[in-house]
Amino acid sequence: MARENLKLFTTISFYIALFTALVFPISIFLSLSTSNESAHSLLAAPVLISSLASLFALPFSIVSLFSKEHLAKRIFAILVNLLPIAIIVYGLTLEVMDEFFRPAP
């Protein structure tokens, strides 16, 4: 595939990254500002959709690194599409550290 034809992959990954970049801060702000449990159930669907879409767009972001699109657009797409994976790995790392470095009872 020619480098000029990779514009479609860059466009798809960029729009998914833009959606993820909008949904995550809004959901974090709303979950911190409300203590209502019904708001948390409303926020779960967009966060889940953006996380799964971001995982779907990650290979597109990697392929789009070889296109001739703007470099800032390609880097933004790959960094934001890595965000859900980075959050999960960070949480798992903290959980393992808490489990193994906690003093014995």
Q: How confident is the model at residue 78 (pLDDT cuts 50, 70, 90)?
A: very high
Residue 90: predicted pLDDT: 95
Q: Give pTM, 2 decimals.
A: 0.80
Confidence of residue 39 (pLDDT cuts 50, 70, 90): low
Residue 36 pLDDT grade (very low, low, confident, very high; cuts 50, 70, 90): low
CA distances from 58 to 1, 51, 53, 85, 93 (A): 19, 11, 9, 10, 22
Mean pLDDT for the chain overall = 85
Q: How far apart are CA 46 and CA 27, in angstroms?
A: 8
* pLDDT tier for residue 44 given thresholds of 50, 70 and 90: confident
